Amino acid sequence: MQPGRGPGRRLRWAIASAALLAGCSESPPSLHVAGGDAGRGKAAIERYGCPACHTIPGIPGYGANVGPPLGKLASRAYLGGVLPNLPHNLVRWLQDPPAVAPRTVMPRLGVSEAEARDVAAYLYSLH
């Protein structure tokens, strides 16, 4: 069989197309954060000093690169590489990252649940 031809190649195409179609037809999970206020979230992000580690659009910082940039968080599949990216998980992560991923560098900063909802609303509003 010539390389790049035959069933192997067709199978790879089928898998790639199926993955693509699944990605397109799957309705995006709702990233609405109940009770979250993006404006208050932005203020909380500045208060807690998140930009010391993360680059976050709309918030002045120094191009920090300790944690991942948060500008496209809404389209990321997992939080901290461990939790599916859904509103209740983000609210949980923001309150206590080491409880979710014990070896993470992101510290527990004392973010309350209400503040975490606001911060999540802000982060999900970025695209």
Positions that interact with ligand HEC (CB under 6 A): 45, 48-50, 52-54, 66-68, 70, 73, 76, 79-81, 94, 101, 104-107, 109, 111, 119, 123
Return the number of the residue (6 or 49) whose C-beta is nearest ligand HEC. Answer: 49
The dihedral region occupied by 109, where left means phi > 0, alpha psi between -120 and 50, and beta the remainder, is alpha
Local structure of residue 2 (DSSP, 8 states): -
Closest approach, Cβ 69 to ligand HEC, in A, equals 9
Query: What is the C-alpha end-to-end distance of the chain, expressed in Å?
Result: 45
Residues 6+ apart with CB under 8 A from 3: none
Return the number of the residue (8 or 57) whose C-beta is nearest ligand HEC. Answer: 57
Closest approach, Cβ 20 to ligand HEC, in A, equals 23
Return the number of the residue (33 or 45) whose C-beta is nearest ligand HEC. Answer: 45
Query: Which amino acid, 100?
Result: V
Return the number of the residue (17 or 90) whose C-beta is nearest ligand HEC. Answer: 90
Reference 54, options 97, 117, 114; nearest CA is 97
Closest approach, Cβ 88 to ligand HEC, in A, equals 13
